[in-house]
Amino acid sequence: MSQDYQATQVTLEQNELFIMPSEVHGVITGLLACGVDIEDKEYLTILSDVFNDGIAFSGDLKKLLVGFYSQIRSTLDNRELQFELYLPDEDESLHDRANALVAWVSGFLLGFGLKQKDYGRLSAEVKEVIHDFTEINQMDTTFDETEEDKQAFHEVVEYVRISVHLCFAELGKSEHQNAAINTTIH
């Protein structure tokens, strides 16, 4: 991620948004997993409704959000599975990183739910991801700084990361992209 997590937190707070950067990143990722088109800028309106009482974002905050959106979209579109969750650096405590993970998952579920209106049409795999994310969202974030707890945390992060790719592969492509792929195949 191009911007330091702590600097992002400062930018949010300077704009009177008292939310974790990981949650913002999760909401944007959830929106993308449901196919919000980057060209229509609908995500900025959705984010201002969710985080800022419908008030448009200031220049520095808008720049941050557009940067997040572009970066997330490009890594999800990339077939090399390069997408990463936006969490504090490894030098932060495992407790803080786990809290950020829970906030990220909560944000993803929010973003996903805002745009995905037809749960019945989801594949069994995506339904399982949503169920698992709901469980992770309730995870106890009390970790010891042991190698075992660090490994368990990293396994959860990796599961979430790969699950995002699964959701995006199924739902995140816009109708236009899907039509182009279908035309190419035939």
Res 21: pLDDT: 97
Q: pLDDT, tens digit, for every residue of 77-132?
A: 887 888 999 999 988 999 999 999 999 999 999 999 988 877 888 999 999 999 99
Range of the domain at 143: 5-185
Q: pLDDT, tens digit, for every residue of 29-38?
A: 999 998 776 5
Res 79: pLDDT: 79
Res 185: pLDDT: 44
Query: Chain-wide mean pLDDT for the chain?
Result: 87
Rounded Cα distance between 161 and 133, Å, is 11
CA-based nearest residue to 72, from 113, 119, 24: 24
Express as a percent the part of the chain with pLDDT over 70.
89
CB 133 within 8 A of CB 109: yes
Res 151: pLDDT: 95
- Cα dist. 19→49, 100, 106, 176 in Å? 14, 10, 12, 34
Provide the token pair at 56.
């448009």
> What's the domain count of the chain?
1
Res 149: pLDDT: 92
CATH of the domain at 111: 1.20.120.740
Express as a percent the part of the chain with pLDDT over 90.
66
